[in-house]
Chains A and B, each alone.
Chain A
Amino acid sequence: MMLLTCPWCGPRDETEYHYGGQAHVAYPENPSDLSDEEWAEYLFFRDNPKGPFAERWSHSAGCRRWFNVVRDTATYEVLEVYTNADPRPVVGSPAGGSR
């Protein structure tokens, strides 16, 4: 069971959250210019690293706001928690929660 720290509400059990997959996937700036290959890339292809992964979580049973987490997908250690307004941090020491 993971303990994730909502930037607004604090540490809460994983069951309070909804998972949103990879973070920082921007909607295409000029959608009408995209080729089929580029659309496929945008719609269906996501990173799937074994290690630190920047991903989105929503505190769906709490404040219902979205935020970002860098989590190690091999150990499930939460490395960083940050809001959508922040840039992706350089992965440092564990902060914001643990398993």
Chain B
Amino acid sequence: MAKLLPEHPAWLWRDPDPKSSYDAVVVGGGGHGLATAYYLAKNHGMTNIAVLEKGWLAGGNMARNTTIIRSNYLWDESAAIYEFSLKQWEQLPAELDYDFLFSQRGVLNLAHTLQDVREATRRINANRLNRVDAEWLEPDEVAKVCPIVNVSQDVRYPVLGATFQPRAGIAKHDHVAWAFARACDAMGVDIIQNCEVTGFIKDGDRVVGVETSRGRINAGTVGLVAAGHSTVLAEKAGFRLPVQSHPLQALVSELYEPVHPTVVMSNHVHVYVSQAHKGELVMGAGVDAYNGYGQRGSFHVIEHQMAAALELFPIFGRARLLRTWGGIVDVSPDASPVIGPTPLENLYINCGWGTGGFKATPGAGWAMAHTMATGEPHDLNRAFGLERFVSGALIDEHGAAAVAH
């Protein structure tokens, strides 16, 4: 906490014009897109790769999330990919030679009802079976981990306990994107900003390139990694996705001295809070119920979230809000992502992460790169294909996703 931010070099990646052809094109220059390109180059020896970003690098959800990293999901398939991601996070600063301030300060998921307690203890047992670190804490133990949490039993939704994952934490999200971008660039990947994909070039059912605002680009394989706008792109390609786009808001306070040593999440009263390295209290809530692409949300959601924050953290009573913003999250029916082939040959998709994509950045990139390079899913994403909505083998993570959506 309060560690100085690392200076980043003035030059991190080139600004090339798009070439007419690439072996692999990744659509979307956020965290997942950059990680996909990174592992395509590193794990699969591909270097003729372009990352196409319609705006600026990592300016979408990568710039708008609450930076929480954890792997305490319920089902085996989820535990596998999130825990794989966490293990990558633990060694990526060294691998990328870039300190993005990954801080394993732990996460508390509070329980406020008997049902919460049952769900939480079930999840702890599931986590342990999957070798994910997880503990149950009684209210007095919660107060030891995070002394500013109000554990009085004399409130509307008292804290009955919490799950605790000590290895969870936060990272400096912009620095994560820059670290991946610099490493991609060093391996020859072209990162092309202000380049919107406007259509797909097809030979029958086979995608052979993309039309962009900067001209036609032929591609050996194409990956769609566009989060909230995945369905818009899929529609241009001619297929549907089982996801809906919703605004999700977050906000930060002014800078304060270090007061909040961990990450606290509460499904029931619905707020999640951590303190950024610089000192802001970072808070998020649930998604707005309606579909939207406006990158802003409803005021009543903030009102609800602030009420929850104040009940849990009376010390925040005089904290002042500095700014709010919204991201667009693509929510799937089972609150689990879609990573795998599409109905079109040579076209692969990574979407549907809902409110929780940041934590999965390295694992999602790893699995997506494997899928794009080999045409086959990796063990990490085999269960996360589109076909599960036909087979019925859903991976229902609404509980462990920790946000109402």
Contact = CB atoms under 8 A, between A and B. Distances in A.
A46 B292 CA distance: 14
Interface in B290-326: 290-294, 298-300
A87 B333 CA distance: 28
A80 to B, nearest CB: 15
A76 B245 contact: no
Contact of A48 (B244, B294, B300, B391): B244
Contacts of B292: 73-74, 76
B389 A44 contact: yes
A45 interface: yes
Contact of B231 (A2, A48, A76): A48
B243 interface: yes
B242 A1 contact: no
Contacts of B231: 48
Contact of A76 (B240, B294, B299): B294
Contact of B300 (A15, A18, A40, A50): A15
Interface string B165-177: 0000000000000
A19 interface: yes
B244 to A, nearest CB: 5
A39 B390 CA distance: 7
A21 B390 contact: no
A15 B392 CA distance: 34
A42 B377 CA distance: 26
B187 interface: no
A35 B240 CA distance: 17
Contacts of A46: 242, 244
A84 interface: no
The B interface, classified by DSSP as helix, strand, loop or mixed, is loop
B112 interface: no
A71 B243 CA distance: 18
A54 B242 CA distance: 17
B201 interface: no
Contacts of B289: 18-19
B389 A50 contact: no
Given A50-B229, A50-B232, A73 B291 contact: yes
Contact of A55 (B232, B241, B290): B290
Contact of A14 (B241, B244, B300): B300
B133 to A, nearest CB: 34
A15, A40, A47, A75 — which one has the most chain B CB atoms within 10 A of its CB? A40
A37 interface: yes
Contacts of A40: 242, 389-390
A27 B231 CA distance: 23
B338 to A, nearest CB: 11
**Which among B232, B245, B291, B391 has the greatest number of chain A C-beta atoms within 10 A?**
B291
A29 interface: no
Contact of A53 (B291, B300, B389): B291
Interface string B27-50: 000000000000000000000000
Contacts of A53: 291
A36 interface: yes
Nearest to B291: A73
B310 to A, nearest CB: 19
Interface in A1-59: 1-2, 14-15, 18-19, 21, 36-37, 39-41, 43-50, 53, 55
B243 A48 contact: yes
A18 B290 CA distance: 9
Nearest to A36: B390
Contacts of A55: 290-291
A32 to B, nearest CB: 17
Interface string B373-405: 000000000000000011110000000000000
A75 to B, nearest CB: 7
Contacts of A36: 390-392
Nearest to B386: A40
Contact of B333 (A14, A19, A44, A76): A44
Given A15-B300, A36-B390, A50-B229, A44 B293 contact: no
Given A41-B240, A48-B245, A74-B294, 8 more contacts: A14-B300, A44-B389, A48-B241, A48-B244, A50-B245, A71-B290, A73-B245, A73-B290
23 contacts: A14-B298, A14-B300, A15-B300, A18-B289, A19-B289, A19-B290, A21-B244, A36-B390, A36-B392, A40-B242, A40-B390, A45-B389, A46-B242, A47-B240, A48-B241, A48-B243, A48-B245, A49-B232, A55-B290, A55-B291, A73-B294, A74-B293, A76-B294
Interface of A: 1-2, 14-15, 18-19, 21, 36-37, 39-41, 43-50, 53, 55, 71, 73-76
